[in-house]
Amino acid sequence: MFFRLMYHVVLPIYVVFVIFSSITLDKSQNNFLMILLGSIFITSIYLERVYPRSFIYIAAIEILSLLLFHFTSQLNWCFSIYIILLSKFLFQIKGVLKGIFLGFVLIAFYTVIRISYTPINAYSLLAVVSDFLTSLAVVLIIQYIIETERAKNLLEEEKKREELRYQEEKMKLLGEMAGGLAHEIRNPLTIIQGFLKHSKEYNYNIKPWYDLIISEVSRMNKLTVEFLQFSKPNVSLYQTFAIHECLKRVISLTESKARSSGHQIIYTDSNPDLFLPMDFDKMVQVFVNLINNAIQSMVKDGDITIRLFKVENKAVIEISDMGVGIEEANLEKIFSPFYTTKSDGTGLGLSICQKIIFKIMEERLR
Ligand SMILES: Nc1ncnc2c1ncn2[C@@H]1O[C@H](COP(=O)(O)OP(=O)(O)OP(=O)(O)O)[C@@H](O)[C@H]1O
Ligand SMILES: [Mg+2]
């Protein structure tokens, strides 16, 4: 804005002022030629905005018309026009060295023309040095402005990029959360559906399972609440439980589904004396996911074996199935969200399990 004011308003005014002064002081070589050259110079300044692609040619016309204008006006005041023109070029070319070179070339032209109409003496020679130093100072000041402006723009761009990244991250997380919610609600829903189907088709008495069904419904409710409270810190209920109790609960939740798919859950190596500080419901969620995967991996009837044992001071929980297994090349992918080989899978099961386990480990490290 300020620079446009300088090039499109101040500069033409200055040219008119030089024309006026040159005529008044009777310095001009040829009034008509001087006015014509001044007009060409100003027109080319405006043309540059209209044809930015022809910058080089227009710049050449600007320089040439200025030199001739200076020569016909025979006024040293043209120096300011050279300096304003130089500052304009500096915004278009890159690099301090190029700027200094251009400044020196313009001042050299100016000096040659000035010497053509002024006597050469000590004053005139010292003025040359002063002119070169002025051009150097202008180049450095403009370069400083350009650098500051560039740094400011970079900072603003970085801020914008950061904001965009944050938005993208939020959207990604939101997508994952929505998928996760659907996934985690699907597990208890299938369990409840299994019970209801059994009850409807075989008149199976589900009364003994009422408590289990109610607790599953409240688990779904809890999950929904937790997802909705996503922005607030996730308060987990860490208490010390016997892992055996947790596994018993998992088995009671998954057994009917396994049986209806023709599989059997075998839990022999139990160890009631192994305790772990954990969020009970979340641990149940982990094992239900693992057992669901085991059930889905077996095409034929097969066993799902659960073992709980101690190795040194660590509790080991082992869940194995007789299914297709996982190819070694795919092992590193199974914890990635949305990785699935199933047509109806979300691929979130194991990634959620991993997150829960990491959270427990984090909690233990505190
Ligand atoms: N017990 C297993 N046997 C063979 N492959 C498995 C087993 N457990 C996991 N996988 C492989 O890991 C992939 C990812 O499992 P994950 O539980 O994360 O998602 P999913 O089971 O495909 O989908 P969803 O959990 O929504 O049903 C599965 O698609 C499967 O290829
Ligand atoms: Mg799964």
- Say whether pLDDT at 235 is over 70: no
**Which residues' Cβ are closer than 6 Å to ligand 1?**
183, 289, 293-294, 297, 321, 323-326, 334, 339-342, 345-351
- Say whether pLDDT at 232 is over 50: no
- Say whether pLDDT at 335 is over 90: no
* Res 236: pLDDT: 64
Tens of pLDDT, residues 124-141 = 889 999 999 999 999 999
- The better pLDDT of the pair 168, 263 is held by 263
Nearest to 285 by CA among 191, 175, 171, 172: 191
* Res 237: pLDDT: 75
The domains of the chain, with CATH numbers, are: 2-118 (no CATH), 236-366 (3.30.565.10)
- Say whether pLDDT at 282 is over 90: no
Residue 239, judged by CB atoms within 10 A of its CB (0-12, 13-18, 19+), counts as: exposed
Q: Which pLDDT band holds residue 152 (cuts at 50, 70, 90)?
A: very high
Secondary structure in 3-state letters for 123-190: HHHHHHHHHHHHHHHHHHHHHHHHHHHHHHHHHHHHHHHHHHHHHHHHHHHHHHHHHHHHHHHHHHHH
Mean pLDDT of the chain: 88
**Which range, of 48-57, 209-218, 242-251, 357-366, averages the lowest pLDDT?**
357-366
- Say whether pLDDT at 173 is over 80: no
- Say whether pLDDT at 348 is over 90: no
**Which amino acid appears at position 319 of this protein?**
I
Tell me the two tokens of residue 190. 């299938």
CA of 355 to the centre of ligand 2 (A): 14
Average pLDDT in the 46-65 region? 90
* Res 366: pLDDT: 66
Average pLDDT in the 222-228 region? 68
Q: Which pLDDT band holds residue 168 (cuts at 50, 70, 90)?
A: confident
Q: Which atom from ligand 1 is nearest to the alpha carbon of 352?
A: 18
Nearest CA to ligand 1 atom 9: 293
Average pLDDT in the 314-324 region? 94
* Res 279: pLDDT: 86
Tell me the two tokens of residue 191. 């369990």
Tens of pLDDT, residues 65-95 = 999 999 999 999 999 999 999 998 998 887 8
- Say whether pLDDT at 226 is over 70: no
The DSSP symbol for 324 reads -
Q: Which pLDDT band holds residue 170 (cuts at 50, 70, 90)?
A: low
For strand 264-267 and strand 303-311, is the pairing parallel, antiparallel, or unpaired?
parallel
Residue 355 CA: which ligand is closest?
1
* Res 360: pLDDT: 79
Q: What is the best residue among 293, 295, 299 to mutate for testing ligand 1's pocket, by most ligand atoms within 8 Å of CB?
A: 293
* Res 228: pLDDT: 64
Q: Which pLDDT band holds residue 233 (cuts at 50, 70, 90)?
A: very low
Nearest CA to ligand 1 atom 7: 293
Q: What is the Cα–Cα distance from 93 to 81, expressed in whole angstroms?
A: 18
For residue 34, report the phi and psi dihedrals to the nearest 5 degrees.
-65, -45
CA of 207 to the centre of ligand 2 (A): 29
Q: Which pLDDT band holds residue 171 (cuts at 50, 70, 90)?
A: confident
List Cβ neighbours of 29 (8 Å cut-off, separation of 6 or more). Answer: 71, 72, 74
